[in-house]
Amino acid sequence: MYNAIDKPLDQYRVSTQDSISYLNYAIYCLAIVLSITHIYFNTFSTLSGLWISAIHFAGFGLLCILTVPIVKNVDNSVSGWRIVDIFLAGIVVMSAAYLILFEDQLYARGVELSQWDWWVSLATIAAALELTRRTMGWFIPVLTLIALSYVVWWGELISGPFHFPGLSLETLLYRSYFSPEGMFGPIARISWSYVFMFILFGAFLVQSGAGDFIIKLARSMAGRFTGGPGFVAVLGSGLMGSVSGSSVANTVSTGVITIPLMKQAGFPARFAAGVEAAASTGGQLMPPVMGAGAFIMANYTQLSYLEIMGAATLPAIIYFLSVAFFVRIEAKRQGLETAETIEGDKSQQPIGKLLKSGWHFTLPIASLVAMLIYGFTPTYAAGFSILVVIASTWLTSQPMKFPQVIQAMVLGSKNMAATAMLLVTIGLVVNAVATTGVGNTFSLMITEWAGGSLMITLVLVALASLILGMGLPVTASYIILATLAAPAIYNLIAEAQLLELFVSGQIPEQIKPMLMLVAPDQIQQLGASMSLVEAQALMALIPVDMKNTLIEGAIGPGQLALALLSAHMIIFWLSQDSNVTPPVCLTAFAAAAIAKTSPMRTGFAAWKIAKGLYIVPLLFAYTPLLSNDLTKALPIFITAVLGIYALAAALEGYLESKLNWMQRLMALVSGVLLLWPQQYMLLTIIGAAAFCGLFYWSCIQNDKSCHTVCE
């Protein structure tokens, strides 16, 4: 068997003129069946979530067996490999059938495993690990084995805070396979519902021709500016990523157009690839489709997906603008032209003409957002929007007919296969962490190491996300870090809000009696403002178990929800850095392959350009940027955009003209002041004035150099 998952979809089409193998026909039919069954699961089905999760695993497990070889670059049609695949296929089918047929008998026995229960549960876990190894590599299976063995074996052998008395293997197998909290638990339910429906929605959009329209629209809107091809990459990746939710897929689909265009315009190949990788990474940050992590965030925070979309929009725009600033600076430094002036670029169309011919592509996105606003579930909204995709193409000369609909189903199932195996297996890790309480222990240790400092905590989490990202995909990295570190960040953000109440003297009456118990000598000060040092001293007197009660009593539910969302959004953003940070950066490597440049050097270029991944999370922690109150969020957005532009200029040593070291230092200071929390308005004003002055001076110098060249 060979790796059929990377074959062009045209090779899956059944035609009377083509000779198609039974293998390809099986893949084609299975992909269609999986799409149809999952649409049914998310609309009319009344089956239990546990059963659907098991069927989800079995179906996509079969698809992975048929499409991904046991060993890469080896002919798996050899009889030995074929036997292994047949045996593995039998296991994944049995994993679902056994759970459905014998679940009642298990509960009737009082949750005691029979001999068959033992063998089937062990075989199912082994199959999940093997299929994840095939699609994602060794890191996740090894991590899963470490987590499971910790529960039953080596957890009781170690001392210290991570000592765990241990559970029996029988209990572990029950919790992993039969329990609704294991591999077929919440993460798997998110996989077969939200994630699949949005991946299928993206597949229908691509099949309808929306991808080509997005690239043309980006070229029409951004191509007329200096360094336009770079802006095309940023805008095109943002628009494409808003519907695909995958950074690597975004890079491949848009990069084949934008990277050659940037090179043709005069951008260095490494920089062009870095821009595409950094911009495509932002695709998972841009609503309405933000990848699997956003749906898991909704599950963790118990906030609606619409709320998460609304909160994520302004930060995503900041990120794409940060990449665009690097493009403009490089274009100015290189003296590059617009896309319109590049010889041979004849494909750019007037934006009015383009919108007139492709306006129908906006209908599915509009219907999706509208249905979410009106309170429909994300799965229902995605399913209805798929119908809108099909219907909207009938407004053109190239409507989606039955063959194109089938092709979109095949594409959706193909794109889902690896993600399904990943999420089912990660469910085992999450269950082990929840069972042992490692998450709470880890959060307490982070807080202790950081000495209660939110900034140091963020640095530690960023380092942890980078290390995890070397072996884990972005979604898996987010899930693990959210389980381990989100409580620590949430507590510190909430404590910072309580500290602000102490400083301002706005302490609610309902918590004053508790404060009097811990600080009876400060009764007179509780109703008045105090210095930051005094407030910190008062905070230090509060016992840990009482602190949570005080926070809940002093801070409203809305603010606590914002703190929780901020904690998870910080981790979600930091998890993206593995896409562009060496030594393992798949998005940068994909862009390097297109640009034909060094993968590692491309990775470092992308890492520099994607600095917004580290700066914007600081705004989540220290400002109300994620607030739904635009009167609070918009001023932060404006100053953040200016601040990041200033930092980019300091990093590159260029603005509209070359900057000397003193001017770079001035840009750095003004950037920091602009990004500083806005309760210090004077600092923000000073930073804005300094950067505007520097920009004006740079423009004058640029004009002088232009006159010199002309003369």
Q: Identity (one letter) of the amino acid at 498?
A: L
- pLDDT of 403 strictly over 70: yes
Which domain range does residue 70 map to? Answer: 4-184
Q: Is the pLDDT of residue 341 over 70?
A: no
Position 5 scores a pLDDT of 39
Per residue in 529-576, pLDDT (tens digit) is 777 787 777 787 787 778 878 888 788 888 889 999 999 999 999 988
pLDDT in tens, 157-169: 888 888 899 899 9
Mean per-residue pLDDT for 43-62? 92
Residue 342 has pLDDT above 60, yes or no: no
Res. 73 pLDDT band, cuts 50 70 90: low
Residues 29 and 167 occupy one common structural domain: yes
Is it the case that residue 9 has pLDDT exceeding 70? Answer: no
* 41-79 burial code (b ≥16 CB/10 A, e <16): bbeeeeeebbbbbbbbbbbbbbbbbbbbbbeeeeebeee
- 613 inside domain: no
Average pLDDT score over the chain = 83
In a domain, 412, yes or no: no
pLDDT higher at 531 or 171 = 171
Whether residue 411 is contained in a domain is answered as no
Same-domain status, 252 and 196: yes
What is the number of domains present in the chain?
Answer: 4
Half-sphere exposure of 437 (CA within 13 A, CB side): 9
Q: What is the DSSP letter of 73?
A: T
Kindly state whether residues 312 and 202 are assigned to the same domain.
yes
Give yes or no: residues 193 and 111 share one domain: no
Look at residues 127, 156, 184 and tell me which one is the last residue of a structural domain: 184
Q: What is the pLDDT confidence band of residue 344, given thresholds at 50, 70 and 90?
A: very low
Q: Is the pLDDT of residue 333 over 60?
A: yes
Does one domain contain both 246 and 345? yes
Residue 16: the pLDDT is: 35
Residues 206, 260: one domain? yes
Q: pLDDT tens digits, residue range 186-229?
A: 889 988 988 899 889 888 988 888 777 777 777 676 656 666 77
Q: In the 3-class helix/strand/coil scheme, how is 344-385 assigned residue by residue?
A: CCCCCCCHHHHHHHHHHHHHHHHHHHHHHHCCCCHHHHHHHH
For residue 1, pLDDT beyond 70: no
Cβ–Cβ < 8 Å for 98, 91: no
**587-629 tens-digit pLDDT:** 888 888 888 888 888 888 998 999 899 999 999 999 889 988 8
pTM of the model: 0.79
Q: Phi and psi dihedrals of 326, rounded to 5? A: -65, -40
Whether 623 is in a domain gets the answer: no
Q: Which residue has the higher pLDDT, 703 or 475?
A: 475
Token readout for 445 is: 């240790």
Token pair in block for residue 269:
């190949």
pLDDT in tens, 89-135: 999 999 999 999 988 888 777 778 888 999 999 999 999 999 999 98
Based on the fold, state whether residues 219 and 176 are members of the same structural domain.
no
pLDDT at 10 over 50: no
Q: Report pLDDT for 337.
A: 57
Return the SS3 of 173.
Answer: helix
Under a CB-based contact definition with an 8 Å cutoff, are residues 378 and 197 in contact? yes
Co-location of 101 and 171 in the same domain: yes
- DSSP SS3 for 623: coil
Q: Is the pLDDT higher at 466 or at 62?
A: 62
Q: Is residue 425 part of a domain?
A: no
What does the alpha-carbon distance between residue 682 and residue 555 come to, in Å, rounded to a whole number?
27
In a domain, 30, yes or no: yes
- Spatial contact of 340 and 348, defined as CB atoms under 8 Å apart: yes
Q: Are residues 167 and 208 in the same domain?
A: no
Mind giving me the DSSP string for 658-688?
B--HHHHHHHHHHHHHHHS-TT-HHHHHHHH
| Pair (394, 442) in one structural domain | no
My answer on whether 284 and 237 are in the same domain is yes
Percent pLDDT > 70 in the chain is 88
The β-bridge partners of 658 are 654
The pLDDT score that the predictor gives to residue 4 is 41
pLDDT at 69: 85
Res 638 pLDDT > 90: yes
Structural tokens at position 665: 């230092």
Instruction: Return d(Cα 596, Cα 348) in angstroms, integer.
Output: 25
> Average pLDDT, stretch 664-685?
86
493 lies in some domain:
yes
Inter-CA distances, 489 with 203, 345, 448, 551, Å: 36, 49, 12, 14
What are the pLDDT digits (tens) for 412-460? 999 889 889 988 998 999 889 888 888 778 877 887 888 878 889 999 8
Together in a domain, 567 and 700: no
Strand partners, 654: 658
Q: Which of 338, 373, 400 is the last residue of a domain?
A: 400
Cα distances from 569 to residues 182, 240, 621, in angstroms, run 25, 21, 9
Whether 426 is covered by a domain: the verdict is: no
Last residue of a domain, one of 131, 150, 184: 184
